[in-house]
Structure 1
Amino acid sequence: MVRPPLTELDRERGHRLGAILRQARGSRSMAEVAAAAGLSAETVRKIETGRIPTPAFFTIAALAQTLGVSLDVLVEVCTPERAA
C-alpha cells in the first residue's frame, strides 16, 4: 500500500499534536514517558517534533493514557476548524 503524500494540513496537525503531548509530558523525561507507554524514546521525540505527523492510533492512545490526556482533547486540538 502506497501512502499518499502529506498535506500542509497534516503537517500542521502533527505539530499541534506534538505540542500538546510535549506540554502534557511536563517535567517527565521523554524516556520515562516512552517506557510507560511501551514506545521508544525516538518515536516520542519524532511525534513531539512533528516528524511523525500522522502516528498510528494505538501509539497516540498509549501516549494519551500515559500522560493522562483525553483522546477527546487531542481530537479537539488537532481538528482544524477548532484549532483556530
Structure 2
Amino acid sequence: MVRTPLTPEERQRGECLGALLRQARGERSMAEIAAAAGVSAETLRKIETGRAPTPAFFTVAALATALKLSLDDLSTACTQESTWPEQALSA
C-alpha cells in the first residue's frame, strides 16, 4: 500500500500536537508518560518531534489520558491555524 504524502497543513498539525504533548509532559520523563499511556518511549519521542505527525487515534487518546488533557482541547489547538502550544493549553 502506498501512502499519500502529507500536506503541509497535516505536518503542521502533527508538529503542534507534538509540541502540546511535550509542553504538557513538563518535567516528567518520556518513559514515565509512555508507560502510563501504554506506548513505547520511542513512539512518544517520534510524536513529540513531529517525525510521526499522524499518530493513531488510540495512541493520542492514551497519551491525552496520561497527561490529563482533553481531546477536544488538543483537537481545537491543533486545527486553529494561529494557535501554538504556548497559547493552546493556557486557554
Into which bin does the TM-score normalised by the smaller protein fall?
over 0.9
**Matched residue, 2:24:** 24
In structure 2, which of residues 48, 64, 81 is the aligned counterpart of residue 83 of structure 1?
81
Note the alpha carbon deviations across 1:31-72, whole angstroms, 9 max, x for none: 000011000000000000000000000000000000000000
TM-score, length of structure 2 as denominator length: 0.86
Q: Which has the higher helix share?
A: 1
Q: Distance in 1 between matches of 2:30 and 2:21?
A: 11
Aligned positions of 1:17-56 closer than 5 A: 17-56=17-56
User: Is residue 2:67 matched to residue 1:67?
Assistant: yes
Identity %: 70
Q: Give ranges in structure 1 of 5+ residues lacking alignment.
A: none
Aligned pairs, how many?
A: 82
Q: Distance in 2 between matches of 1:72 and 1:83?
A: 16
4+ runs deviating over 2 angstroms: none
Q: Distance in 1 between matches of 2:51 and 2:18?
A: 9
TM-score, length of structure 1 as denominator length: 0.93
